[in-house]
Amino acid sequence: MSNGSHRNVESRRQVGRRALQVTGLGLGTAPLGGLYRDLSDEEAEAAIEAAWQAGVRFFDTAPHYGHTRAEHRLGHILRRYPRSEYVLSTKTGRRFVPRTHPYDGSEGWVDPLPFEAIYDYTHDGILRSFEDSQMRLGLVDIDILLIHDIGRVTHGERNAHYWQQLTSGGGFKALDELRSAGAVKAVGLGVNEREAVLEMMAEFDIDCALLAGRYTLLEQAPLGDLLPACEQRGVSILLGGAFNSGILARGLEGDLKFNYGDAPREVIDRVAKLQAVCRAHAVPLAAAALQFPYAHPAVATVLTGARSAEELRENVGSFERPIPAAFWQALRDEGLLDPRAPVPGASASGAAQA
């Protein structure tokens, strides 16, 4: 298609090899847990309802978000809608218990609920976490269950200990039991590092991985290892963090956050170059950021967060906005895209159809 891509939020792709499909755009609920800024129940409700009205039918949450607040909020709204019409994912690996120490704010949550996490990737810990999520959501049927934040970025030198809980401690066995029994339709992990996905794929048969960041306009390293492996194994990427924590949402005029911290100078300089190409082709940076990863055939959905109905509608508009093919070629010419990266509108390598 000569004018590049025109994505539709309601377009669907299969999750792994399972009989499960997710919409092109999904709603991630970390902002509904109060990430970086508190919001009212009314604002959270408006964001979820705006997503539904726009055709979003994939919703991702986690006990970690707001220390269980996001699960409560999401379940309260989703129970209004027919359960057969949407896909729901949550995460496991942390159990939440009443807080015994004051919250220090280090995780970025503003006014979280009064609970604290105990990491537990064992067989019984995963099953208990799953049941706790069912009760908080008020929903028995959870489609996708993801191991949350396994990896060295989160656990450092303790990662080997928690990895052993998944292997000899029966964590992987619990996932397999839930999937085999039909309690969930698909299993995987939700992480910020591609290495963890590769390690899990080598150990256990996952269906999908929620990867936050790592494959964006600013980062394309997964093209060399993870994404080819996913295509070969039939593993879907649920792509979060397309804005890299914010800097790709509004560029240098917005919040200069990159991967949960202040953006370094080299990232700011790269964003400036991206914005120059965007201005030359009248393409909003946010539109390019949301549409780029969806062009890869291994990416089943792009998850975005929203603190309000207005933000949600902005993201929908960005995802569906037509972008000329010349824009993507200009990014290649400027060395801002890996030459191996599929781009929206291209037909090579089975890339996303326009």
Q: Is 273 a catalytic residue?
A: no
Identify the CA nearest to 287 among candidates 329, 328, 348. 328
- In this prediction, residue 258 carries a pLDDT of 81
Cα distance between residue 92 and residue 76, in whole Å: 20
Q: What is the chain's percent helix, strand, coil content, to nearest 5?
A: 45, 20, 40
pLDDT averaged over every residue in the chain: 94
- In this prediction, residue 349 carries a pLDDT of 39
- In this prediction, residue 262 carries a pLDDT of 84
- In this prediction, residue 348 carries a pLDDT of 41
More confident residue, 167 or 2: 167
Cα distance between residue 90 and residue 33, in whole Å: 13
The separation between CA 52 and the C-alpha centre of its own chain, rounded to angstroms, equals: 18
Q: Would the pLDDT of 240 be above 90?
A: yes
Q: Would the pLDDT of 323 be above 90?
A: yes
Catalytic residue among 38, 41, 65, 120: 65
**What is the mean pLDDT of the segment spanning 11-35?**
97
Q: Would the pLDDT of 231 be above 50?
A: yes
What homologous superfamily is domain 12-338 in, according to CATH? NADP-dependent oxidoreductase domain (3.20.20.100)
- In this prediction, residue 261 carries a pLDDT of 79
Identify the CA nearest to 136 among candidates 78, 185, 86. 78
For residue 189, count other CB atoms closer than 10 A to its CB: 27
Q: Would the pLDDT of 190 be above 70?
A: yes
- In this prediction, residue 345 carries a pLDDT of 85
User: pLDDT per residue over 254-313, tens digit each?
Assistant: 878 788 778 899 999 999 999 999 999 999 999 999 999 999 999 999 999 999 999 999
Catalytic residue among 86, 91, 162, 294: 91
Cα distance between residue 297 and residue 225, in whole Å: 15
**What is the mean pLDDT of the segment spanning 180-186?**
98
Catalytic residue among 60, 120, 132, 149: 60
Banded pLDDT at 246 (limits 50, 70, 90): confident
Q: Packing angle between helix 171-180 and helix 123-137, nearest 10 degrees?
A: 50
- In this prediction, residue 255 carries a pLDDT of 78
Q: Is 215 a catalytic residue?
A: no
**What is the mean pLDDT of the segment spanning 79-100?**
98
| Spatial contact of 34 and 110, defined as CB atoms under 8 Å apart | yes
- In this prediction, residue 135 carries a pLDDT of 98
For the chain, the first-to-last Cα distance in angstroms comes to: 7
Q: Would the pLDDT of 139 be above 80?
A: yes
Q: Is 91 a catalytic residue?
A: yes
